[in-house]
Chains A and B, each alone.
Chain A
Amino acid sequence: MDRREFFREGPFRALGVLVCALAAYPVFRFMTFRKIRKTTVTFPPAPDIQSRVLYRKGVFLTARGPHPRALSARCSHLGCTVRFDEVTQTFRCPCHGSVFDADGKRLEGPARKPLEALPVTVGKDKEILVTRIL
């Protein structure tokens, strides 16, 4: 490209790059928008779950102590679903081997945080309702 061509074409090219950059932002924002969706998981009333760990749709419900506690089954490392080991009373992740105690506290492995505790409410028929983000 010679000098004259450069000065004739240059501004148009610069404008093209600018327009692309300006268009890229709304496109990126549109493509990456996420609406937070929640789901409610229902468990049987508290007396029925005494001293057991129940699992339903990504939620563990434990009835240790006076109140039932709900824990997310998503491993706090990279999101695999942990399983409850009855023998050792621990949650174990099959992906990279993180281990959590029955209260969700991290014991070993690459996870740094405990299992997420989820809010628990009681429904009108005494059923236990746990809300989690999808």
Chain B
Amino acid sequence: MLRALSPTLPRLGLGCLAFCLASGVVLAFYYRPAGNVFRNVEEITTLVPYGKLFRQLHYGSGQAFVLFMLAHTLEHFFKKRYRTYSPGEWSRLVTAVGLCLLILFTGFVLKGDKEGIFAGRIFMNMLRAVPVAGEHLSRLFVRPGDHFFFLPYLHHCFLLPGVLVYLTRSHIRRWVPGAQTIYLTGVGLVLFALLVPPRPALPPEAPAPLVTGPWFFLGFQSLLKTAPPFWAGIMPPVFLFAGLLSLPFLKDPWGRRLHGLLIGLLALYALLCLRAFLAGP
């Protein structure tokens, strides 16, 4: 069963990516990253013909792509397949995982609701906590003021997907989905888009006792309650990615130890996210 899933997951993921890109292009004809973005998104959902369908298609396919891709990466990681890749290829793939999460995150910001705006501000201020270059680094991703959504838009629609496809181009070729997979993925996603309504969005000025970030950010949201931003929001992902990147370079027993440590940290973070999801961050 698991053996059959192994080659299916990345193919399903790429099928989802195709639908995500296509629905994103359609949405770009109405979405504007300036002015009242919240109202613009609401109009897409309630006023523009088939807007809700395309919005949910984009949302569902994006989430599914990242979930399939994470499952595929975890499988590689648990089976220690990084040993069969060249260090360069492994580094490109690990970077691609980070980019996928960043694309999902910028999409969350671009909703333009209270959650999105707060997530963008938190990200900007967390980057500022990086010593020396933090202030400049934050300006590469989000800027306060009237053009708050412009840079996340630029990253979400052009820069990050471009770099992602470039980094994974040779890897993708191995997993190109067939017509049957594309068809199945399409049916599943359209059903999702038709049956699942978008989550109710909070207007930016609406009062709210609790605001939460995207699901993969919930663990950080919990950590940020107790630890300073640099230690709670910057160091854990940096350590995780540095650990993953260095795996192919380490010989046993150090390689084995780092592998074990990373499994422990990933499990801990997953538990933290789950707890925050169920009981609030």
Residues of B within 8 A of A32 (CB): 136-137, 139-140
Q: Interface of A with B (CB < 8 Å)? A: 28, 31-34, 37, 74, 77-81, 83, 92, 94-97, 109-110, 134
A79 partner, pick from B121, B140, B145, beta carbons under 8 A: B121
Within 8 A of A (CB), among B113-145: 118, 121-122, 124-126, 136-137, 139-140, 143-145
Report the minimal beta-carbon distance from B237 to chain A, rounded to whole angstroms. Answer: 16
Report the minimal beta-carbon distance from B113 to chain A, rounded to whole angstroms. Answer: 13
A96 partner, pick from B140, B143, B145, B225, beta carbons under 8 A: B225
Contact check, A79 vs B125: say whether CB atoms are below 8 A apart: yes
Within 8 A of A (CB), among B210-253: 210-211, 221, 224-229
State A110–B230 Cα separation when bound (angstroms). Answer: 13
Residues of A within 8 A of B228 (CB): 110
Contact check, B224 vs A78: say whether CB atoms are below 8 A apart: yes
Report the minimal beta-carbon distance from A96 to chain B, rounded to whole angstroms. Answer: 5
Report the minimal beta-carbon distance from B21 to chain A, rounded to whole angstroms. Answer: 26
Contact check, B139 vs A95: say whether CB atoms are below 8 A apart: no
Q: Mark B193-218, 1 if CB is under 8 A from A, else 0.
A: 00000000000000111110000000
State A77–B145 Cα separation when bound (angstroms). Answer: 18
Report the minimal beta-carbon distance from B123 to chain A, rounded to whole angstroms. Answer: 9
With A78-B125, A110-B225, A134-B146 given, is the CB distance from A31 to B140 under 8 Å? yes
Q: How many positions in chain B have a CB within 8 Å of any CB in the partner chain?
A: 27
Contact check, B229 vs A94: say whether CB atoms are below 8 A apart: no
Residues of A within 8 A of B145 (CB): 37, 134
Report the minimal beta-carbon distance from B157 to chain A, rounded to whole angstroms. Answer: 17
Contact check, A80 vs B136: say whether CB atoms are below 8 A apart: no
Residues of A within 8 A of B224 (CB): 77-78, 95-96, 110
Report the minimal beta-carbon distance from B114 to chain A, rounded to whole angstroms. Answer: 8
B208 partner, pick from A33, A79, A94, beta carbons under 8 A: A94
Contact check, B118 vs A95: say whether CB atoms are below 8 A apart: yes
State A15–B67 Cα separation when bound (angstroms). Answer: 43
A97 partner, pick from B125, B146, B225, B227, beta carbons under 8 A: B225
Residues of A within 8 A of B226 (CB): 110
A94 partner, pick from B124, B139, B146, B209, beta carbons under 8 A: B209
Residues of B within 8 A of A110 (CB): 224-228
Q: Which A residue's beta carbon lies closest to that of B146?
A: A134
State A97–B146 Cα separation when bound (angstroms). Answer: 27
Of the A-B pairs whose beta carbons lie under 8 Å apart in the complex, a sample of 22, sorted by A's number, is A28-B136, A31-B139, A31-B140, A32-B139, A32-B140, A34-B143, A78-B121, A78-B126, A79-B118, A79-B122, A79-B125, A80-B118, A81-B118, A83-B207, A83-B209, A94-B209, A95-B122, A95-B224, A96-B225, A110-B228, A134-B144, A134-B146
Report the minimal beta-carbon distance from A54 to chain B, rounded to whole angstroms. Answer: 14
Beyond contacts A34-B143, A78-B126, A95-B122: 12 other A-B pairs, Cβ-Cβ < 8 A, are A28-B136, A32-B136, A32-B139, A34-B139, A77-B125, A78-B224, A80-B118, A92-B209, A96-B221, A97-B225, A110-B225, A110-B228
Residues of B within 8 A of A78 (CB): 121-122, 125-126, 224, 229
Residues of A within 8 A of B122 (CB): 78-80, 95
